[in-house]
Amino acid sequence: MLTPQYTHERNFGCRITESLYRGLRALTLENEVLRVTFLVDKGTDILEFLHKPSDTDFMWRSPLGVRNPATFVPTVARPDGAFLDYYEGGWQECLPTGGNAVEAAGTVFGLHGEVCLMPWDYAIVQDDPDRVRVRFWVRTVRSPLLVEKTVTLNRGRGVVSFYERLTNEGAEPFDLVWGHHPAFGAPFLDPSCVIDLPGGEVQTVSLGETSRCAPGWGFTWPQVSGAQGETFDLSRIPDPRTRSHDLAFITGMREGWYALTNADRQVGFGMIWPLDVFPALWYWQVYCGALESPWYGRTYNIALEPWSAPYQTVAEAKAQDAQRTLVPGAVQEVGFHAVAYAGHRGVARIHPDGTVEGR
């Protein structure tokens, strides 16, 4: 780990705190507006994205909690991989596949790929009151990727900026799908919440007997058909008593951004990203309707996830010629922002620099 032996232990402006959380290396970036904590030893998961003025953490916390792979051994290996045994909620980076376990590239990948379960390295690049910047990186095991992620937080702004690079270090082309998986939960998430985004076409996917949406293509955001012939507005968050579990893919957006606002509290979270890298938005909806292990109907959360394709695995994406292929030595770069804001009941637009325009 390349990191200075000494960092400034400020209690003002921008600052960085290195710590151990349940035995895992953690790194916290904060300023006057935000506190954001990364689990370095578990995929650089974002465990906490806290808006300090309103004391609002947007990230969902799973009832499973944070489990250290060094001290927790599951009873037996899951056929879909280890992701769910160690899923604490929060925000994961998913590579080189998403969704279900899949055979690809002569090997097997579990649910949501491999980088979200790996320990990363990091270096503190900048550490002063006006700006903190950290570079994270990891080399994958079952795929030939070098993944690099630089995270920046500036003084006085509720915006976290990400710059990422994927490099194929192999000697042959490599196919992948790539996504970010931030999940949101109570007490921030409640029926006053509204999702704003710049239109798009919706595909709904049934996840079993508790799906409230009818599976289908060609719906126009936010209206979709229900399983009983009714119509739902996907931009509104229902009550936990809905007891439903659904997945939707949104494509054809005019711009790559969304905002999730708690209208009662007038506080929200948003993302903005380039559509040429992440042209699809996955929308996972769990309103106490995810049954059996590990949720047993006790979870109330959603996830709004920018992805490189509207398909759950790299195999499904390849079948539709929607995979991302990196030739040997090729590099894929992307920059995007995550934003916390207050004082709005809804959002008209998030601008490219992360500025939020209310409606």
| pLDDT for the residue 323 | 96
Residue 5 has pLDDT above 70, yes or no: no
The DSSP H or E segment spanning 314 is: helix 314-319
What span, in angstroms and rounded, lies between the C-alpha atoms of 304 and 267?
17
Q: Mean pLDDT throughout 180-195?
A: 98
Residue 2 has pLDDT above 50, yes or no: no
Per the structure, how many domains does the chain have?
A: 1
Q: For residue 266, is it within any domain?
A: yes
| pLDDT for the residue 9 | 78
Q: Which residues contact 160 (CB under 8 A, 6 or more apart)?
A: 29, 34, 36, 49, 151, 152, 153, 337, 338, 339
Q: Mean pLDDT throughout 242-246?
A: 97
Q: Token pair for residue 74?
A: 């599951």
Q: For residue 88, is it within any domain?
A: yes
Q: For residue 3, is it within any domain?
A: no
Whether 62 and 88 have beta carbons less than 8 Å apart is answered as: yes
Q: For residue 199, is it within any domain?
A: yes
Q: Mean pLDDT throughout 160-177?
A: 98
CATH code assigned at 28:
2.70.98.10
- The domain in which residue 256 lies consists of 16-358
| pLDDT for the residue 10 | 85
The predicted-structure confidence for 258-298, as pLDDT tens digits, reads as follows 999 999 999 999 999 999 999 999 999 999 999 999 999 99
Q: For residue 146, is it within any domain?
A: yes
Q: For residue 268, is it within any domain?
A: yes
